[in-house]
Chain A
Amino acid sequence: MNAMMKQWGKLTLMEWVLMALLAALNGVATSLLSHLNQLLTSLGGSMLTSTIVGLYMIYGLLAMYIIRKPGAALFTYLIGALMQIMVGTSYGPWSAIAAALCYAVIVEPLFFLVKYKKFDWSMMLFTGVAMTPLWYIVAAFMFGYIHYESLVLVITLAIRCVSGMLLCGGLTKWLGDRLKHTRYVRPFALGREAMGLREKG
């Protein structure tokens, strides 16, 4: 535990700023998607809204993809939650905190297990899927979805998993790979790895 705390302390100021800006991007995405979200809620409640749920999960996973250190996803999600509380969130403060913790509790151990070295397509798509169920279960109790018909719950979970896989895992990997050779990520693990590979090649 002490070792983990020390690792968390090793996040540099630049990495904290990156995490903050990725959290800000989530705020922008939330604002851009708000009309679509409302339209989907009107047409098909939580079921249709679930189709875009992956887009709201990208920022923490992208921080982990770029920084590749313990705590990167946890702190990014928590910064995002705190920011949402400060500006006001449609689903309340508890949902912001709980969602952040539910995503982080999956992402952090998964990348800890692979020693922050495996960031290929299979790992990213799997992480995107794995992040989905825990928050869905917590939200089901929080917002009362648990009372819905079982079939609705299963279909919604399946939609969320696909959204998590493609819009979170897949899009994060795609974005990360497009950015890895740019100068913006050179101070971070992703950029350093890309530079190393290029030099070796």
Chain B
Amino acid sequence: MKHRDTSSAWAAGGWLHRIDPLTKGIWLLSTGFASMMTTSLAGQAVWFASVLLIAWTGAGWSLTRWRLVLGWCAGFGLPLIWFQWLVLPGQTPLFGSGTGRWFTEEALVLAAALTLRALVMFLTSIVFATTTEPRDVVAALVGKLRVPPKFAYAAAVALRFVPLLTREAEQIRRAQQLRTLTREKGLQARLGEVKQLSLALVRSALREVQTVSTAMEAKQFGRGARTQRRELSIPLSGKLFALLSCGAAILSVWLI
């Protein structure tokens, strides 16, 4: 029996939750591309505002999530503006001639534009990730784009193991701390810790390989044609959204 993508947890959010991953993917890539091609501060500000508007109306984020996202934007964006203002060249010093080529008006404008570009990339990515169920992405890749199942399902397996391995990493780290009781100082000691943690983590991942591949082989994965339990449909709103995204990106690049 075919199953449509109407899981309540995802359909309950904003309008972006009801759009298929492919059209959202087109929005994600076209917005990123247009932002990369835009150098003006005004242009970047328009793209940033458009992503905020789409997230506000369509992502259905809670106040806590908004706080987290905006906090991250400030935590990442402000130091980045500061650093870029310092290393970008310009002609008009903002604090008198004493600072020479540094802290110029041109550098500040460009630093703000480049930081907004980075924030557009981050926000679009977060909007896509929080409004798209990973298994829908896999279904869309295999069903609509004819991506080889081994590749698409490998990504799904990877995604499944991130939280498990993260938990294991935390346990390994605590165990290492307990063994030494006091944390050794110095770069060499820290590098030693990183090496030991990396080795333990890789070993944990390798331990899972046989279990997962045996389970997949037992289910006859990769033998014969694959059937899809989930059938994704592309709604008219999705098609319109993709068309608008592409149009806006082309217009933005053409106007530059």
Interface residues of chain A, those whose CB is within 8 Å of chain B, are 11, 13-14, 16-25, 27-29, 31-32, 38, 41-47, 58, 62, 75, 78-80, 82-83, 85-95, 142-144, 147-149, 152, 171, 174-175, 178-179, 182, 184-185, 187
Contact = CB atoms under 8 A, between A and B. Distances in A.
Contacts of B128: 85, 88, 93
Given A21-B157, A28-B162, A88-B129, A79 B169 contact: no
A25 B155 contact: no
A1 B222 CA distance: 23
Given A29-B201, A87-B134, A144-B114, 19 more contacts: A16-B151, A19-B154, A20-B158, A20-B161, A21-B209, A25-B201, A25-B202, A31-B166, A38-B75, A41-B79, A83-B162, A85-B125, A88-B128, A91-B118, A92-B124, A94-B32, A143-B114, A182-B206, A185-B206
B75 A18 contact: no
Interface in B73-106: 75-76, 79-80, 83-84, 86-89
Contact of A86 (B32, B122, B155, B201): B155
Interface of B: 28-29, 32-33, 36, 39, 75-76, 79-80, 83-84, 86-89, 110, 113-114, 117-118, 120-122, 124-126, 128-130, 132, 134, 137, 141, 150-152, 154-155, 157-162, 165-166, 169, 195, 198-199, 201-203, 205-210, 212-213, 216-217, 221-222
20 contacts: A21-B158, A21-B161, A24-B159, A25-B202, A25-B205, A27-B159, A41-B76, A41-B80, A45-B86, A45-B87, A79-B154, A82-B141, A83-B159, A88-B128, A93-B124, A143-B117, A175-B198, A179-B206, A184-B206, A184-B209
B89 A149 contact: yes
A152 to B, nearest CB: 5
Contacts of A46: 83
A178 B199 contact: yes
B198 to A, nearest CB: 6
Q: Is the interface of A mostly helix, strand, loop or mixed?
A: helix
Contact of B83 (A13, A19, A45, A171): A45
Given A86-B134, A149-B88, A18 B155 contact: no
B167 to A, nearest CB: 9
Given A14-B210, A45-B83, A62 B129 contact: no
Contacts, number: 196
A182 B203 contact: yes
A17 B151 CA distance: 10
A89 to B, nearest CB: 5
A152 B89 CA distance: 11
Contacts of B206: 18, 21, 179, 182, 184-185
Contacts of A47: 83
Contacts of B117: 143-144
B122 A25 contact: no
Contact of A79 (B29, B151, B213): B151
Given A13-B217, A182-B203, A24 B150 contact: no
